[in-house]
Structures are given as structure tokens and as C-alpha cells.
Amino acid sequence: MARVKRGTKRRARRKKYLKRTKGFYLTKSKLYQSAQEAANRADRYAFRDRRVKKRQYRRLWIQRIGAAARLNGITYGQLIHGLKAAGVDLDRKILADIAVKDAAAFKLLAEQARAAAPPQKKKKAA
């Protein structure tokens, strides 16, 4: 079998990794082995964090809605339950945006949710 030295192919592959890791710290941007490991690790984090970002935004929206709901004298859970019962079909992203930018509209939504939801039973103190 003929000997294969891979001159240009090898150089092209290495240059591709070094170009991707430009700006990384110390040897991660200079040496091929370190750069390859850093690039592969970065890819794993990027893949994972594209999903994590969605979770983090949902948590932020829920916090904003909960804070605005408490300002209107209702809990987050009661608000969501009441809006579902009232047939208001807004997702958490839109509700959070309304809570931040239009307090008057959010107050109307909270009143609508309070009217549609059945009254809560009070728990006995232990």
C-alpha cells in the first residue's frame, strides 16, 4: 500500500482549529492539541447551553410575573390558574413583557384572573 503523508490536508485541519480558537487563553489558541480540546469543549458547552438558555429565560419570566402578581394582591399560581380558567391564552414571555412595560394592562389581567378562579381555601395555622 502506498504511503500517505497528508501534508496539505493535515495543515488545513489544524489551521481550521486554530482559527476557531483565536482569542482563547494561552496555549488553547496556540498549540493544536490544546486548541482542539478547547474547541471541542466549547462545542459541548454551546450545545448544552442553547437548551439551558431557554430554561433561564423561563425562570426570569416567571419571577417577573410573580413579582407583578404580588403587587396586584394575587400569587403567581393563582394568576396562572385564573387566566387559564378565564380562557386568556398568553404565554409567560408575553405576560412578563406586559408586567414590565404596561402595569395597567397587567392589573386588568390580574383582576380577570381573580374573577375567573375559584376562591382559595385558607389553610389552618399549625
Please indicate, yes or no, whether residues 45 and 65 belong to a single structural domain of this protein. Answer: no
Q: pTM for the full model?
A: 0.77
Domains: count for the chain:
2
Look up the domain containing 25 and give its range: 17-52
Q: Which amino acid is at 90?
A: L
Tell me the pLDDT band of 6, cut-offs 50, 70 and 90.
Answer: confident
pLDDT of 1 reads 84
What does the alpha-carbon distance between residue 113 and residue 32 come to, in Å, rounded to a whole number? Answer: 59
- Any domain includes 100: yes
Arithmetic mean of pLDDT, 69-85:
96
Q: Is the pLDDT of residue 35 over 90?
A: yes
- Any domain includes 93: yes
Residues 25/55, Cβ–Cβ less than 8 Å: no
The pLDDT tens digits of the residues spanning 42-53 come to: 999 999 999 999
> What is residue 32's DSSP assignment?
H
